[in-house]
Amino acid sequence: MSSSFGSVFKISTWGESHGVGVGVVIDGCPARVPLTREMIQAELDRRRPGQSDIVTPRNEADAVEILSGVLDGLTLGTPIALSVRNKDHRSTAYDEMQHTYRPSHADYCYDAKYGIRAWAGGGRASARETIGRVAAGAVARAVVRTLCPQVEVIAWVQQVHSIICPTPAAEVCAATVEGNIVRTADPAVAEEMAAAIRSARSAGDSLGGIVACTVRNCPVGLGDPVFDKLEATLGHAMLSIPACKGFEIGSGFSAPQFRGSQHNDSFYMDGPRVRTRTNNSGGIQGGISNGEDINMRLAFKPTATLMIEQETVNDAHQPATLRGKGRHDACVLPRAVPVVESMAWLVLCDHLLRQKTVSL
Amino acid sequence: MSSSFGSVFKISTWGESHGVGVGVVIDGCPARVPLTREMIQAELDRRRPGQSDIVTPRNEADAVEILSGVLDGLTLGTPIALSVRNKDHRSTAYDEMQHTYRPSHADYCYDAKYGIRAWAGGGRASARETIGRVAAGAVARAVVRTLCPQVEVIAWVQQVHSIICPTPAAEVCAATVEGNIVRTADPAVAEEMAAAIRSARSAGDSLGGIVACTVRNCPVGLGDPVFDKLEATLGHAMLSIPACKGFEIGSGFSAPQFRGSQHNDSFYMDGPRVRTRTNNSGGIQGGISNGEDINMRLAFKPTATLMIEQETVNDAHQPATLRGKGRHDACVLPRAVPVVESMAWLVLCDHLLRQKTVSL
Amino acid sequence: MSSSFGSVFKISTWGESHGVGVGVVIDGCPARVPLTREMIQAELDRRRPGQSDIVTPRNEADAVEILSGVLDGLTLGTPIALSVRNKDHRSTAYDEMQHTYRPSHADYCYDAKYGIRAWAGGGRASARETIGRVAAGAVARAVVRTLCPQVEVIAWVQQVHSIICPTPAAEVCAATVEGNIVRTADPAVAEEMAAAIRSARSAGDSLGGIVACTVRNCPVGLGDPVFDKLEATLGHAMLSIPACKGFEIGSGFSAPQFRGSQHNDSFYMDGPRVRTRTNNSGGIQGGISNGEDINMRLAFKPTATLMIEQETVNDAHQPATLRGKGRHDACVLPRAVPVVESMAWLVLCDHLLRQKTVSL
Amino acid sequence: MSSSFGSVFKISTWGESHGVGVGVVIDGCPARVPLTREMIQAELDRRRPGQSDIVTPRNEADAVEILSGVLDGLTLGTPIALSVRNKDHRSTAYDEMQHTYRPSHADYCYDAKYGIRAWAGGGRASARETIGRVAAGAVARAVVRTLCPQVEVIAWVQQVHSIICPTPAAEVCAATVEGNIVRTADPAVAEEMAAAIRSARSAGDSLGGIVACTVRNCPVGLGDPVFDKLEATLGHAMLSIPACKGFEIGSGFSAPQFRGSQHNDSFYMDGPRVRTRTNNSGGIQGGISNGEDINMRLAFKPTATLMIEQETVNDAHQPATLRGKGRHDACVLPRAVPVVESMAWLVLCDHLLRQKTVSL
């Protein structure tokens, strides 16, 4: 029951890192949405390995095939199946890990849960699992953009280790983010961050950081009160991304510093539009979008796979040591950016379709 | 579609702050779980208003009635309906708010979403909505404790405004938390926090803070990989609590400060048990519990209702001002503690039942 | 997981025959639908006991209370909780059945499933469970009628034992059906059927029959291909009604008698409307409504509770005999008519709301 | 939302008749179930075209590929993706149907629902859609058989047009059914039926019939009371099969002929086992299996595609005529048998896993 997400726009992802491939089935996509293979491939290219010298050199083209649900550039209303074949198995690189639990990886927990060894490369716990998310996110984006062409979702790397990009959310420019290999909002900061990542990699170590994400021009009224508040479903989506350790919306963990009189967002009229003078709410009030920018931040831990020897145990419950082989990211954040955006599109798309059922 | 939560242990809450009452239906509770009205009432008493001088004086006994699903102290396997009648409507206190949007409240968004004015007291956006959560949480607790008697869930107020309770999660004692009106882990800090809350209330203002929550002795193997990771469903649950602005698990937003070699939790054998030397993972790896304590933190914003005049607009889109009346908490955190625990029990119960379907 | 139904318009029923009461929570009802207590009560009055001399004399007013989700005659978009208190427990009538399995009842199966004795009156297996269906069905009807005022749903008793009402579906008149105590489509046949029911009751025996149901003016396009075909969800709904043993749509079990050239429904233009010359499809093709009348038939077995001594076993697995006491229907069909209509409204409402998410 | 089925053992099928291929993703399959490609292929071979001279000669090997979720002959607990490539598009055969609505097909309804023309071959409305069902059903069978090795599901053709196979359900032998091309229970009747099918085909016409299905040695306690009664979910499953017009369980549409005293199934002890002397209930009471054989019957209409000229309209709403080309079954029943069995396995598997969550 674990690999499905969404309530009306439902996705089911499948695939293991070192199996035949990975993919997704989307059930509940409206008909007549313009959609091409290129639209999906473009997003996959943003997350694929080997894009630059600071990400894993695993060589995967990650070419997507549309297996169903689209004809002549339009969705049919039927399930859309998307598949990406794995090219570069190299599972021999994982041989010695077969019986040893990698620290801060899912190996031990999978064993305990399923009673069967997740295989080389981490199975579903591999970063390759996010391919299904990004492919589905591209479809969600097409749906949202067809219904509300003005909606924008931009994620960027706001922090790597102790290096912070100070650009305010409202000033972040998508082209700038895409214009540097770190995907941060300021090219000068990008160089610092890239240097830190290269340095950590040289030491066989890894770095974490913060990805921020903003949604602009979101329609008012999305999100359901009570359990499926917009921030709750966004939080669910983001916290399900591998290595994400925290999620905040609006003022987030800085909220306690404010008094109510400082934190409340006063309403005023901006021409015909009800707006708020501040945006501590992060664009969501009572679980429902209010039309202001939706501002989120996600904390990512440093990658667990290290080229440094670590203490651990094996599946016979004997002490062991382990040093990573294979090809891994010393910092996942640059490649996490399109994943974060995809999860945001998936949540927005689902709530947008749900909203159609709320009013007469 | 908003008021339901859970996959196997499913709850549906209902009720408005100033309507007939509030309640919940639980579908999917196993049979033969020991359950009494008193077990549920005890938890409701922890969240009810009027417990102390630092919470809202609204006078509600919040007496629960079990309408179905329980016979002679045992669950029947059939739906459990729980209901609490509203006693103290006082909706006249809200009259002037009827056409004015309260800043940082849900009023404007509800109007935009539903095209109909949520009535006095906030409708579903009121804190009274959490009664259904706490009542259902008490049932979830009974189920989990019947299956795994050793599991403990303890939440406490870790911060109010700038006052921090430094007690480490592993040393927090439930009796101590319940022994002070703030529900923090250290009685001396509790006095400071209570003073700050009283002072804010006197000024017509409000305070936010942090609630921490730890789960001890959680079975290994709970949580589903990919979208329903344990931290993702916990995050969903917690971020759906009114006023919650952020959620973190384990190292959370401090994760970026670590290098991978510092952050990884080494495995070792503790007798027959696989354990980790540190717990930056917060008891969850790859979305699945590893048996270590599950440590979460939630950020809460200061209450939006203030006894201070605020700028706003009304539903005719004219500028207006508003000063709160009614009876409200100047700080929701003491009463949020049982709500946080309830959401944790609900998530644990659902995953525990789901886990029964995973292995043969 | 058993007491919930619907995908967007979701209902959760609760309550036992001899507990505090029965009811339903509806999650996903659109806002601003005109709805009053009287609209719901009117339908409950059609299914309540004691309406005439041919149904059970159990004396229950079945007065519904709206607990939430409705204000000033309009739905709010929030969950609608409806409750009916049980008045007439009389559980002593069931004392001797407490340890004896009633033949063709659910007693033995409940024991096997839950490991706990369903109590007097049959618990959830009682006909009182259908109150939640009828109450929710009245809300569904209000939603459908608000969106599509022309839709009609009419069910009637088409057969009792060997007595058949020959009125064609297209000629059945709701007022006529409601004008006789059997709820059949022809008053003359009604007298014959009533006499047969009285005669069976005098003998301590019971009768089954057929309920037919037609939906007129259904919008074209409802129903989802593949698993949630309109006939499949209607079948699910109808086969979940206690005592229903069969469901057919259109030509149904007579379909095998036709050759394809006889069975196919030719299309023709009726003014601007695409219509079919015959309606063997029963208004549904490929799982989707085509605008013709949706014609269904349901087979009901004779009531299992008899005032005749029957062979059985008890829960100690000893042979036993049993003779019904309590007050029961010798024929459930007259009271099943509003239940059948309610299930049809629930399915139509859900598909109507789902359809809003299919197209742009 | 249409192409998913199941509550715990969830499947999502995808694919169009004349697209790249068809397939299914299974989410919620337990780990460590023995499963091979051959087990799935064997069932697909039973439904594939071209098996005999009485089914469509469309030449499709329907070779299945396991894309994920299985390693070394065991399921991993992760999603199982199964895919079958289409070999034999021949969409030119459908060219002239592109703008003409085939009578009693889904063409017109799809247009009305989605506002886009389902393409050549019927898209999701094609019989090829059932490949996903059969592939998933083979996995469900593996799960059920691993948990309860004694469970048997046997479907057979009980009637073709007016030719009836009189073999009682309890005497039907799987090997006999599989031993004749019609898949009926009596070889002599099979010849008659085959002759009737050949004769209809020669005339360009088609025949319908009845498929019966029995489940033997079903564990007691499966099925949920109220909406997800075992017969209701079986009915949902079966009525979703293309061309199915009716479903009955146990006495079904003959139930009205009985009085209660004739219809009730008396309990008696058969050694340690509670059994019933008759089985009018069809193995299900109160929605829950009682351990007796579960006996179902499904009515199938004659195939809609005919090689005879028929009156219809086109998508410009002009009168038109149509004569089928392409390669079609003159009678779908022989190939429906494995589909019916697959749907039964899917329902049983889901309820078996759900049952694990009901008791402690």
Strands B310-313 and B319-322: antiparallel
Q: Look at the block and give the residue holding tokens 């008193």.
A: B38
Helical axes B333-355 vs B37-47, angle rounded to 10°:
140
Q: What confidence score (pLDDT) does residue A339 get?
A: 98
Q: What confidence score (pLDDT) does residue C168 get?
A: 98
- Beta carbons within 8 Å of C241's beta carbon, 6+ residues apart: C130, C133, C298, C336, C339, C340, C343
Contact partners for chain D, using 3 or more CB pairs closer than 8 A, are A, B, C
Position with higher pLDDT, B99 vs C193: C193
Closest listed residue to residue D353, CA positions, set D43, D25, D31: D31
- Beta carbons within 8 Å of D103's beta carbon, 6+ residues apart: C264, C265, C266, C267, C276, D304, D310, D311, D312, D322
The 10s digit of each residue's pLDDT in B33-62 is 999 999 999 999 999 988 888 888 877 889
A230 and A284 Cβ atoms separated by less than 8 Å: yes
* Cα–Cα distance measured from residue B172 to residue B174, given in angstroms and rounded to the nearest whole number: 7
| Both tokens assigned to C258 | 């036709």
| Both tokens assigned to A304 | 């667990």
CA–CA distances in Å: residue D132 to residues B170, C226, C286, D70: 50, 11, 17, 17
* Chain-centroid distance, C-alpha A272: 35
Q: Is C191 helix (H, G, I), strand (E, B) or coil?
A: helix
Closest residue in C to B67 (Cα) is: C20
Position with higher pLDDT, C125 vs C158: C158
The 10s digit of each residue's pLDDT in B7-18 is 999 999 999 987
Separation of first and last alpha carbons in chain A = 33
The half-sphere exposure of C144 on its side-chain side, counting CA atoms within 13 A, is 29
- Provide the 10 A C-beta neighbour count for residue D302: 32
Residues of chain A found within 8 Å of residue B227, distances taken between Cβ atoms: 2-5, 13, 236-237, 240
The half-sphere exposure of C325 on its side-chain side, counting CA atoms within 13 A, is 11
Give ∠ CA C330-C331-C332 in degrees, rounded to 5: 125
How many residues belong to chain C?
Answer: 360
* Cα–Cα distance measured from residue A171 to residue A173, given in angstroms and rounded to the nearest whole number: 6
Q: Is B257 helix (H, G, I), strand (E, B) or coil?
A: helix
The 10s digit of each residue's pLDDT in D253-307 is 999 999 999 999 999 999 999 999 999 999 999 999 999 999 999 999 999 999 9
Nearest to C207 among D160, D259, D280 (CB): D259
- Beta carbons within 8 Å of B124's beta carbon, 6+ residues apart: A225, A226, B3, B15, B16, B118, C78, C79
**CB contacts < 8 A (A, B):** 394
Give ∠ CA D13-A341-A344 in degrees, rounded to 5: 65
CA–CA distances in Å: residue D331 to residues A167, D53, D237: 68, 11, 21
Chain D contacts in chain C segment 285-344 (CB below 8 A)? 285-290, 299-306, 308, 310-313, 317-319
| Both tokens assigned to B209 | 């803070």
The dihedral built from the CA positions of residue D50, D56, D61 and D65, taken in this order, carries a sign that is negative
Cβ contact (<8 Å) for D246 and C253? Answer: yes
| Both tokens assigned to A224 | 């359901």
Q: Which residues pair with C25 in a beta bridge?
A: C12, C81
Nearest to A290 among B4, B109, B233 (CB): B109
C71 and C271 Cβ atoms separated by less than 8 Å: no
Q: What confidence score (pLDDT) does residue C119 get?
A: 59
Order of strands across the sheet that contains C80-85: C4-5, C10-15, C21-27, C80-85, C64-66
The 10s digit of each residue's pLDDT in C6-44 is 999 999 999 998 789 999 999 999 999 999 999 999 999
In degrees and rounded to multiples of 5, residue A356 shows phi and psi of -65, -20
In degrees and rounded to multiples of 5, residue C18 shows phi and psi of -120, 30
Closest residue in B to A4 (Cα) is: B227
Q: Look at the block and give the residue holding tokens 């709500």.
A: B339
Closest approach of D21 to chain A, Cα-based (Å): 6
Domains of chain A by start residue, with CATH: 4-355 (3.60.150.10)
Interface residue A30 vs chain C (CB under 8 A)? yes
| Both tokens assigned to D15 | 């694919």
SS3 content of chain A, % helix, strand, coil (to 5): 35, 25, 40
* Cα–Cα distance measured from residue B215 to residue B347, given in angstroms and rounded to the nearest whole number: 11
| Both tokens assigned to A37 | 């293979």
Closest residue in A to C28 (Cα) is: A358
Closest listed residue to residue B299, CA positions, set B226, B337, B244, B242: B244
Closest approach of C105 to chain B, Cα-based (Å): 17
The 10s digit of each residue's pLDDT in A301-336 is 999 999 999 999 999 999 999 988 767 789 999 999
D55 and D334 Cβ atoms separated by less than 8 Å: yes
Position with higher pLDDT, C84 vs C119: C84
Nearest to B256 among A115, A161, A308 (CB): A161
* Cα–Cα distance measured from residue C290 to residue C292, given in angstroms and rounded to the nearest whole number: 6
| C-alpha R_g of chain B | 21
pLDDT at B218 over 80: yes
* Cα–Cα distance measured from residue D287 to residue D250, given in angstroms and rounded to the nearest whole number: 12
Q: Look at the block and give the residue holding tokens 């609490």.
A: B84
| Both tokens assigned to C122 | 């049959």
Q: Look at the block and give the residue holding tokens 């499953």.
A: D237
The 10s digit of each residue's pLDDT in D208-259 is 999 999 999 999 999 999 999 999 999 999 999 999 999 999 999 999 999 9
Q: Is B280 helix (H, G, I), strand (E, B) or coil?
A: coil
DSSP states along A48-112: STTSSTTS--------EEE-SSEETTEEESS-EEEEEE-----GGGGGGGGGBPPTTSSHHHHHH
Contact partners for chain A, using 3 or more CB pairs closer than 8 A, are B, C, D
* Cα–Cα distance measured from residue C101 to residue C92, given in angstroms and rounded to the nearest whole number: 16
Q: What letter would DSSP give residue C311? A: E
* Cα–Cα distance measured from residue A152 to residue A182, given in angstroms and rounded to the nearest whole number: 20
Closest residue in C to A31 (Cα) is: C359
* Cα–Cα distance measured from residue D102 to residue D233, given in angstroms and rounded to the nearest whole number: 30
C344 and C234 Cβ atoms separated by less than 8 Å: yes
* Cα–Cα distance measured from residue A236 to residue A224, given in angstroms and rounded to the nearest whole number: 14
CA–CA distances in Å: residue D53 to residues D58, D245, D303, D313: 11, 26, 16, 33
Closest listed residue to residue D206, CA positions, set B307, B26, C261: C261
C50-69 residues labelled b (16+ CB within 10 A) or e (exposed): ebeebbbebebebebbbbbb
Cβ contact (<8 Å) for C32 and B115? Answer: yes
Q: Indicate whether this model's pTM tops 0.80.
A: yes
The 10s digit of each residue's pLDDT in C105-153 is 999 999 999 988 765 556 788 889 999 999 999 999 999 999 999 999 9
Residues of chain A found within 8 Å of residue C357, distances taken between Cβ atoms: 8, 28, 30, 353-354, 356-357
Strands D70-71 and A163-164: unpaired
Helical axes C37-47 vs C333-355, angle rounded to 10°:
140
pLDDT per residue as tens, chain D (360 positions): 579 999 999 999 999 987 899 999 999 999 999 999 999 999 999 999 888 888 888 778 899 999 999 999 999 999 999 999 998 655 555 566 778 999 999 999 999 999 887 655 567 888 899 999 999 999 999 999 999 999 999 999 999 999 999 999 999 999 999 999 999 999 999 999 999 999 999 999 999 999 999 999 999 999 999 999 999 999 999 999 999 999 999 999 999 999 999 999 999 999 999 999 999 999 999 999 999 999 999 999 999 999 999 999 999 999 999 988 767 789 999 999 999 999 999 999 999 999 999 988
Order of strands across the sheet that contains D74-76: D31-34, D74-76, D70-71
Cβ contact (<8 Å) for C269 and D319? Answer: yes
B291-319 residues labelled b (16+ CB within 10 A) or e (exposed): bbbbbbbbbbbbbbbbbeebebbbeeeee
Chain A contacts in chain B segment 218-237 (CB below 8 A)? 220-229, 231-237
- Provide the 10 A C-beta neighbour count for residue C88: 13
